[in-house]
Structure 1
Amino acid sequence: MKQVSKNTGLGVPHIDIKTVIAATMFLKGFGGLLFIFSSSFGAFLLLIYLAFITPIVYDFYNYEMESAQFVQLFFKFSQNLAFIGALLFFLGMKNSIPRRRAKGRTTKTKTN
């Protein structure tokens, strides 16, 4: 928070860390569970989780490019970006597939 307020010049409100941890655990756990069952809402929850947590956890930009930590953090950051792309692809494909019609009466074509 100190770095954000120092770089942007804006005051950052105090956020209880327990609330943040509980929210991220919920997003990851519930979103993952729903995603297993092919739910778009689960993919959306995982997308929100990754979008907020990736730049915070993998802060490669605070290290020198030659350090080993930079390489590891950048690799994991890139991996999470790939996960975000895969979730966006899943959401796009899920919404582009037409829904199945309910089984029932089928209309027959008339031949004259």
Structure 2
Amino acid sequence: MGFISFVGRVLFASIFLLSAYQEFSEFGADGGAAASSLKPKFELFVKQVSKNIGMAAPHIDIKTVVASTMFLKAFGGLLFIISSSFGAVLLLVYLAFITPVVYDFYNYEMESQQFVVLFTKFSQNLALFGALLFFLGMKNSIPRRHSKRRTTKAKTN
């Protein structure tokens, strides 16, 4: 059972680790391809949030955002492999932040092809989010094993 769950964690974490590695290898002075594709969506998201809450959001450099997401994916994925709850939480934070920004299906008409593609990917990320929540729930519901050392019983006369 332990080996199978380890393989499952490795396969699940490989989604995040390979993505982080790809972004890291393309990361340059400008943040790479990830920064150029994320920048317009991130600016639109910040503009919408600022409008809805009625406050101006502080300027956040897109290169910092990409570096932060790379860290969350890589470190969270590595910790998740060793069955760490903290790794799962880091991956949850990453998914909670990036999913509505990158897969902004709500900005498109329902009949458009772009809506279908973005909504499908958004749903896939929700499934990953749910799997991480399931992992955390199962991890916290399984009682810890106690040592097999016998306790001494009090003698009664």
Q: Please give the TM-score of this superposition, normalised by the length of structure 2.
A: 0.64
2:81 to 36, 40, 47: 36
Structure 1 residues 106 and 80, CA gap change in structure 2 (3 angstroms): same
Gaps of 5+ in 1: none
SS of the counterpart of 1:102? Answer: coil
| Residue 87 of structure 1, aligned match among 119, 124, 132 | 132
Partner of 1:106: 150
Distance 1:67 1:13 in 2: 33
3-state SS of paired residue (1:99): coil
| 1:106 Cα offset (Å) | 1.8
User: How many pairs align?
Assistant: 109
Give the CA RMSD over aligned residues.
1.8
- The amino acid of 1:66's aligned partner reads E
Q: Which has the higher contact order (CA 8 A, sep 6+)?
A: 2
Q: Which moved more, 1:45-54 or 1:14-23?
A: 14-23
Aligned ranges for residues 72-83 of structure 1 at < 5 Å?
Answer: 72-83=117-128
Separation in structure 2 between the aligned mates of residue 17 and residue 26 of structure 1, nearest angstrom: 14
